[in-house]
Chain A
Amino acid sequence: MRHIIAMLLQNEAGALARVAGMFSARGYNIESLTVAATHDPEISRLTMVTIGDDNVIAQIIKQSRKSIDVIEIADLTSRSHLESELLVVKVAATESGAAAIARFTELNYGVILDETGNTRTLQFTGRGSHIGAVLTELAAMTTILELARSGTAALERGESVLAPADLTTLPY
Chain B
Amino acid sequence: MNAMLQEQTQAAPVAGDHPLAGRPMSGAEIVVQVLADEGVDVVFGYSGGAILPVYDAVFRFNREHLAEDGSEPLPLIVPANEQGAGFMAQGYARASGKVGVALVTSGPGATNTVTPVRDAMADSVPIVVICGQVPTAAIGTDAFQEAPISSIMGSCAKHVFLVTDSSQLEATMRTAFEVARTGRPGPVVVDIPKDIQNASLRFNGKGQLPIPGYRSRLRAVAQARLGDRECTDFLDALGRAERPLLYVGGGVIAAEASRALRAFAEAFGIPVTTTLMGIGASDTTEALSLHMLGMHGTAFANYAVVDCDFLISVGARFDDRVAGVPKLFAQRAKYIAQFDIDPAEIDKVKRVDWHHLGDISLALDRLREKAASIGFDPRGQGRFAGWHAHIADLKKTHALDFDRSSALIQPYAVIEEINRLTRGEAIICTGVGQHQMWAAQYFDFTAPRRWLTSGSMGTMGFGLPAAIGAQFARRDLMVIDIDGDASIRMNIGELETVTTYELPVKVVVLNNCGDGMVRQWQKLFFKGRFSATDKSLHRKDFIKAAEADGFQYAVRLDRSEDLQRVIAEFIAFEGPAFLEVMIDPDACVYPMVGPGMSYAQMITGDHITSRDQVKSAETGPAEMF
A binds B: yes
What residues of chain A have their CB less than 8 Å away from a CB belonging to chain B? 8, 10, 13-14, 17-18, 21, 25, 42, 59, 62-63, 65-72, 164-166
Apart from A42-B1, A66-B217, A66-B344, what are 20 other A-B pairs with CB-CB below 8 Å? Answer: A8-B213, A13-B150, A13-B164, A14-B154, A21-B154, A21-B155, A42-B210, A59-B348, A63-B344, A65-B343, A66-B184, A67-B159, A68-B159, A68-B213, A68-B214, A71-B213, A165-B212, A165-B216, A165-B217, A166-B216
Chain B residue contacts of A165, Cβ below 8 A: 212-213, 216-217, 220
- Whether B426 sits at the interface, judged by CB under 8 Å, is no
- Whether B160 sits at the interface, judged by CB under 8 Å, is yes
Contact A17 B151, beta carbon cutoff 8 Å:
yes
A68 with B344: in contact, given A13-B162, A14-B160, A165-B216 (CB under 8 Å)?
Answer: no
C-alpha spacing A90/B162, complex, angstroms: 40
Chain A residue contacts of B343, Cβ below 8 A: 62, 65-66
Q: How far is the CB of B62 from chain A (nearest CB, A)?
A: 32
- Whether B256 sits at the interface, judged by CB under 8 Å, is no
C-alpha spacing A62/B340, complex, angstroms: 14
Interface size class of B (residues with CB under 8 A): 20 to 34
- Whether B320 sits at the interface, judged by CB under 8 Å, is no
- Whether B413 sits at the interface, judged by CB under 8 Å, is no
Q: How far is the CB of B486 from chain A (nearest CB, A)?
A: 29
Contact B344 A65, beta carbon cutoff 8 Å:
yes
Contact A66 B150, beta carbon cutoff 8 Å:
no
Chain A residue contacts of B217, Cβ below 8 A: 65-66, 165
Q: List 6 A-B contacts (CB under 8 A).
A: A13-B164, A21-B155, A66-B184, A68-B211, A164-B212, A165-B220
CB closest chain-B residue, reference A71: B213
CB closest chain-B residue, reference A9: B213
CB < 8 Å: which of A62, A66, A166 contacts B212?
Answer: A166
- Whether B317 sits at the interface, judged by CB under 8 Å, is no
C-alpha spacing A69/B217, complex, angstroms: 12
CB < 8 Å: which of A62, A63, A70 contacts B213?
Answer: A70
Contact B211 A17, beta carbon cutoff 8 Å:
no
C-alpha spacing A72/B150, complex, angstroms: 22
Chain B residue contacts of A71, Cβ below 8 A: 212-213
CB < 8 Å: which of A10, A18, A63, A66 contacts B211?
Answer: A10
CB closest chain-A residue, reference B342: A66
Bitwise, B159-186 to A at CB < 8 A (1) or not (0) is: 1101010000000000000010000100
Contact A62 B344, beta carbon cutoff 8 Å:
yes
- Whether B158 sits at the interface, judged by CB under 8 Å, is yes
Q: How far is the CB of B606 from chain A (nearest CB, A)?
A: 41
CB closest chain-B residue, reference A165: B216
CB closest chain-A residue, reference B159: A68
Q: How far is the CB of B459 from chain A (nearest CB, A)?
A: 20
Contact B348 A68, beta carbon cutoff 8 Å:
no
C-alpha spacing A10/B210, complex, angstroms: 9
Contact A69 B213, beta carbon cutoff 8 Å:
yes
C-alpha spacing A73/B435, complex, angstroms: 44
Chain A residue contacts of B155, Cβ below 8 A: 18, 21, 25
CB closest chain-B residue, reference A13: B162
Chain B residue contacts of A65, Cβ below 8 A: 217, 343-344
C-alpha spacing A56/B159, complex, angstroms: 22
CB closest chain-A residue, reference B179: A68
- Nearest 10 A/B pairs, CB to CB: A71-B213, A62-B344, A165-B216, A68-B159, A68-B214, A18-B154, A14-B150, A70-B213, A63-B344, A164-B212
CB closest chain-B residue, reference A72: B213
Bitwise, B332-368 to A at CB < 8 A (1) or not (0) is: 0000000000111000100000000000000000000
Q: How far is the CB of B249 from chain A (nearest CB, A)?
A: 17
Chain B residue contacts of A70, Cβ below 8 A: 213
C-alpha spacing A151/B224, complex, angstroms: 39
- From 120 to 178 in chain B, residues with beta carbon under 8 angstroms from any chain A beta carbon are 150-151, 154-155, 158-160, 162, 164
Chain A residue contacts of B151, Cβ below 8 A: 14, 17
C-alpha spacing A68/B218, complex, angstroms: 11
C-alpha spacing A65/B150, complex, angstroms: 20
Chain A residue contacts of B1, Cβ below 8 A: 42
- From 267 to 285 in chain B, residues with beta carbon under 8 angstroms from any chain A beta carbon are none
CB closest chain-A residue, reference B344: A62
CB closest chain-A residue, reference B211: A68
Chain A residue contacts of B150, Cβ below 8 A: 13-14
C-alpha spacing A72/B184, complex, angstroms: 18
Contact A164 B348, beta carbon cutoff 8 Å:
no
- From 185 to 235 in chain B, residues with beta carbon under 8 angstroms from any chain A beta carbon are 210-214, 216-217, 220
C-alpha spacing A167/B48, complex, angstroms: 46
C-alpha spacing A72/B37, complex, angstroms: 32
Chain A residue contacts of B179, Cβ below 8 A: 68
C-alpha spacing A42/B2, complex, angstroms: 11
C-alpha spacing A42/B216, complex, angstroms: 16
C-alpha spacing A71/B211, complex, angstroms: 8
Chain A residue contacts of B212, Cβ below 8 A: 10, 71, 164-166
Chain B residue contacts of A69, Cβ below 8 A: 213
Q: How far is the CB of A44 from chain B (nearest CB, A)?
A: 12
Chain B residue contacts of A10, Cβ below 8 A: 210-213
Q: How far is the CB of A164 from chain B (nearest CB, A)?
A: 5
Q: How far is the CB of B58 from chain A (nearest CB, A)?
A: 27
Q: How far is the CB of B312 from chain A (nearest CB, A)?
A: 22
C-alpha spacing A145/B162, complex, angstroms: 41
CB closest chain-B residue, reference A69: B213
C-alpha spacing A70/B213, complex, angstroms: 6
C-alpha spacing A12/B484, complex, angstroms: 44
C-alpha spacing A10/B343, complex, angstroms: 21
Q: How far is the CB of B500 from chain A (nearest CB, A)?
A: 37
C-alpha spacing A41/B48, complex, angstroms: 38
C-alpha spacing A166/B216, complex, angstroms: 8
CB closest chain-B residue, reference A63: B344
Kindly name the residue among B154, B179, B213 whose own CB sees the greatest number of chain A CB atoms within 10 A. B213
C-alpha spacing A72/B220, complex, angstroms: 14
CB closest chain-A residue, reference B214: A68
C-alpha spacing A69/B164, complex, angstroms: 17
C-alpha spacing A65/B343, complex, angstroms: 9
Chain A residue contacts of B220, Cβ below 8 A: 165
C-alpha spacing A10/B214, complex, angstroms: 11
